[in-house]
Amino acid sequence: YATTTLFGDIDQRLPSAAHSIRDFHLNSSQAAMMQSQQLNYANRQPPSQAYQQGSFSTLDPTRMTPPEVRGTPYGSFPGKPSVPLTTKAAINQGSFRRRMNLLPMLLNVLIPCCLFSGLFWVVSFEMHYKNPLTAGFLIAVALVFVLSLGCMAVDKTYRRLRGDATQEPTWFVFLFASCALALVAALFFGQNNFQVNLQPYYDIANLNSYLNVDPVGARGAEYMDAGRIVFSEGAKLDVSRSMGFKSKETYCVAPVTSGGDGSNASQLMVYDFWAIGTDCCAGSQGGDFRCGSYLDRRARGGLRLMNDEMRPFFRLAVQQAEAAYNIKAVHPIFLYWMPNPVEEVNQYQTDGVRYYTAGILCHLLAQLFLVFTALVVFSKIGSA
């Protein structure tokens, strides 16, 4: 019984002793771990040094970070070559530069073309005819704009020569030159279009049109505001009484009658309607008139002469005809002889619009060519 009791006590005490030994070992391990952590905390590198080595850890970075991973940028895999940051920056900078070059190229096409189109329209069409002061003001504004571009181009060039690397005057200088060329071209071609096509149209369109005018009984004083005259059936040119006045050019005239030429033509008391032309007759000998639609049997009308500089020379030719053929002209009206003067005057406007449209298209193509040439040149010199 004593033995049983002794071994029973031993069996009861063994589990508690085992638990005590286990707790002792656990406490010893925790104490050792805490001591190791304190030592590592005391001996760890500063964050700046850890970052310089390519990794950061609360423990020893040289042992915790594998050599193949150490220094690898975030987002890349170990052992895989990554694009250097400097190369990426260069690529981004190149893309940005190409985008920036597209803007000056576009502006160097649009601004000169808009300037040319606007001034070409101002000089060619109705504003020039009815409001010349307004047209002159707009031309002056365009001139000031071009001169301002020139001043800015000179300033940028001067700063670049002084060493300011941020200034790129190449496209600015090209813009100034293009706008100056567009200004001169618009004034030249616009004035030519106005004088040849649009001014005659506006001059005649602002006057009256008269139909079925009898050249026998009509008088020139009754049609002083005429721009287009269509005569009655049977109206003809009396070529036998034509005349020419020589002054550098030969100014030719032939009276409008009724009934035919020569002896078949009606003898009029007053010859106030005259067909005209230059360098289309035999001069002062008379009897030879080849101006306008003189052979067209349908022709029985004309557009009035609106050129004040030519009118005195035609008047002198009429005076010679009066003296040579013993006829009389009181208020002579000079006409360009043609079948349909109404359609002819509308053709002036059509030709003016076509001239304007062709000018815009030609200037656009020329400007595109100049911009492309400038791009090639600037790329070669490294300024594009």
pLDDT tens digits for range 11-23? 455 455 445 545 5
- Using the predicted structure, report yes or no on whether residue 360 has a pLDDT greater than 60: yes
Q: What is the pLDDT of residues 25-34, one digit of tens each?
A: 545 555 556 6
How far is CA 341 from each of CA 57, 204, 293, 335, rounded to the nearest angstrom? 99, 10, 11, 10
Mean pLDDT of 100-105: 77
Q: What is the pLDDT of residues 44-78, one digit of tens each?
A: 555 555 444 544 444 454 444 555 445 544 444 44
Count of beta carbons in the 10 Å neighbourhood of residue 79: 8
* Tokens 């601004």, located at residue: 111
Q: Which residues contact 8 (CB under 8 A, 6 or more apart)?
A: none
- pLDDT at res. 28: 56
Of the listed ranges 8-12, 205-209, 218-222, 247-251, the least confidently predicted one is: 8-12
Residue 252 near residue 276 (C-beta atoms within 8 A): yes
Q: Which residues contact 225 (CB under 8 A, 6 or more apart)?
A: 207, 208
Residue 115 is which amino acid? Answer: L
Task: Look up residue 378 and give its two tokens.
Answer: 């600037």
Q: What is the pLDDT of residues 146-180, one digit of tens each?
A: 999 999 988 888 887 887 666 666 788 899 999 99
- Using the predicted structure, report yes or no on whether residue 354 has a pLDDT greater than 70: yes
Report the distance separating Cα 110 and Cα 115, nearest Å.
8
- pLDDT at res. 217: 87
Phi-psi region of 286 (alpha: psi -120 to 50; beta: other; left: phi over 0): left
Q: Which of 322, 317, 319, 318 is nearest to 245 (CA)?
A: 317
Q: Which residues contact 18 (CB under 8 A, 6 or more apart)?
A: none
- pLDDT at res. 104: 84
- pLDDT at res. 265: 57
Mean pLDDT of 214-241: 92
Mean pLDDT of 127-142: 96
- pLDDT at res. 269: 86
Count of beta carbons in the 10 Å neighbourhood of residue 43: 8
- pLDDT at res. 251: 95
Q: What is the pLDDT of residues 334-348, one digit of tens each?
A: 999 999 898 889 999
pTM here is 0.66
> Residue 273 — φ and ψ, nearest 5°?
-120, 125
